[in-house]
Amino acid sequence: MIKRISLYFSLIIVFISTILIIGAAGCANIIPPSGGPRDSLPPVLIAANPADSITNFTGNRITLSFNEFVEIQNTQENVLVSPTPVNTPNIDYKLRTVTVKLRDTLEPATTYSINFGDAIKDVNEGNILKNFTYVFSTGSTIDQNTFAGKVIVAETGKADSTLIVVLHRNFADSAVAKERPRYIAKLDGRGNFQFNNLPAGTFAVYALPNDYSKRYDDTTKLFAFADKPVTIADSTQPITLYAFSLPKETVAAPAGNTNRATSRDKQLRYTTNLESGKQDILKTLQLDLNRKVSFDSTKIILADTSLKPITNYQIIADTNRTQFTIRYNWPANTAFNLVIDKSAFTDSAGATLAKNDTLRFTTKREDEYGSVKVRFKNLDLTKNPVLQLVQTDKVVESILLTATEWSRKLFPPGEYSLRILNDSNKNGKWDTGRFFGEHRQPEIVTSINTTLSIRANWDNEKDITL
């Protein structure tokens, strides 16, 4: 009996020990609580003093309180006050509060707005309170008129979100260059803009970069203008502006310094556009000199592999006499020699090439190209459309379209972006606009939201709806 009790007691002790071991092992796997999901919410305004959209405003200080610690970034770029002040307000922050101190005498019976853009963000995670706007009026009502539209860069057909749209009361051309705009609106990523809380009235409309001056004080800046003033009322039709810039003027080198070689560039030399010793049969052969030269065309000879001169080719110098183009109807998969006498090029100091040279190259095979056929739907041929093929933001070829289908037997393989230029003056290229004294709009380019992929030795076809 005693043995049975002892055995029974031993079994109980083993059972309890087992439970304790399992419990201890379970406790060892307990994972401490995490910090929870990342805060992805922007700050929330919980109070404003004076209240947002207040009328009969008479103070000069605005306090905005948020539900978490906030900070302000890049007020010069982000914050837009309309109507534009003479003196920019002082904007400061501390803990959960943003304070705005107005430095101008406010106009009577006027609606003001302060758009903070991307300036306000929380301290911990950097979540931005986008385009938060505080509105107040020094009169008895808040203006509610809106005006919207779009800005497109005329040369590319794309948007540029760094631009702003400005409104002027003064319609003189000089106003956009000399005066502060009355109202300002930013563009979104697609080039859209919208003014809110505008008074009724008529304004000149422009687009320009969001820089410090907010004026058209440099014609190499992107700039756009509406053809006529816009009248703001209860329902104002949206407009599209086409931005352009004028090229920078080239400054002539000081007299006596022309063609003077630097200490590390005394040797006259050239480069070519050959690709690994191959000539593209669709392009010209180019020789680029490192400085301006005089040229003797009799000392450059295009020849076959037996050095027998070839006829019917041309050598053409550009206006700067630094690039020389050899035009020839290149046959495919054929070897050539270009024999260059060292005295073919001479700079103003009398320097020539270091030695006589012979370039040996072969033209590409036809199967290194692809055929291409593009069919257009809704193409307006009355606008003299030009198809632009673009690589790395550079127009590599422009094709005048005279029908709704375009094809080419041989075309270089690659990925091409597509644009359509409305070539109003029929010169085959995009032309910029001019504002002062002319009010001439730029030619318009439409960016096509598709790419043309051309594979070598392949029939490449594409249908495009405009």
Q: Does domain 368-465 sit in CATH 3.10.580.10? A: no
Q: Which two tokens stand for residue 123?
A: 């301290």
Q: Is the bond preceding 412 in cis, omega lying within 30 degrees of 0?
A: no
Name the band, by pLDDT with cuts 50, 70 and 90, for residue 265. low
Same fold, 145-243 and 368-465: yes
Q: What is the pLDDT of residues 335-386, one digit of tens each?
A: 999 999 999 999 988 899 999 999 999 999 999 999 999 999 999 999 999 9
Q: What are phi and psi of 76, to 5 degrees?
A: -60, -40
The stretch 58-66 carries a mean pLDDT of 95
pLDDT (0 to 100) of residue 35: 53
Percent of the chain with pLDDT over 70: 88
Residue of 135, 104, 118, 131 lying closest to 76 (CA atoms)? 118
Give the Cα separation of 165 and 223 in Å (integer). Answer: 10
pLDDT (0 to 100) of residue 266: 75
Task: Tell me: pLDDT of 154 over 90.
Answer: yes
CATH fold of the domain at 270-364 = Immunoglobulin-like (2.60.40)
Q: Cα torsion for 305, 306, 310, 316, to the nearest 10°?
A: 60
DSSP result, 141-191: S---EEEEEEEEETTTTB--TTEEEEEES--STTHHHHS--SEEEE--TTS
Name the band, by pLDDT with cuts 50, 70 and 90, for residue 235. confident
The region, left, alpha or beta by phi > 0 then psi within -120 to 50, assigned to residue 157 is left
Helix, strand, or coil (residue 18): helix
As assigned by CATH, the class of the 45-137 domain is: mainly beta
Q: Is the pTM of this model over 0.95?
A: no
The stretch 93-110 carries a mean pLDDT of 95
142, 174 in Cβ contact below 8 A? no
Show me where the domains of the chain are located.
45-137, 145-243, 270-364, 368-465
Percent of the chain with pLDDT over 90: 80
Average pLDDT score over the chain = 89
DSSP β-ladder status, 239-243 and 145-153: parallel
pLDDT (0 to 100) of residue 77: 86
67, 43 in Cβ contact below 8 A? yes
145-243 CATH choice from 3.30.450.20, 3.40.1480.10, 3.90.420.10, 2.60.40.10 = 2.60.40.10
Half-sphere exposure of 235 (CA within 13 A, CB side): 0
Q: What are phi and psi of 27, to 5 degrees?
A: -65, -30
The stretch 315-325 carries a mean pLDDT of 93
Residue of 342, 340, 281 lying closest to 315 (CA atoms)? 340
Residue with tokens 């803009």: 193
Task: Tell me: pLDDT of 324 over 50.
Answer: yes
- Contacts of residue 82, defined as CB under 8 A and 6 or more positions apart, other chains included, come to 112, 113, 115, 182, 183, 184, 195, 197
Residue of 260, 250, 332 lying closest to 292 (CA atoms)? 260
Task: Tell me: pLDDT of 270 over 90.
Answer: yes
Q: Is the bond preceding 50 in cis, omega lying within 30 degrees of 0?
A: yes
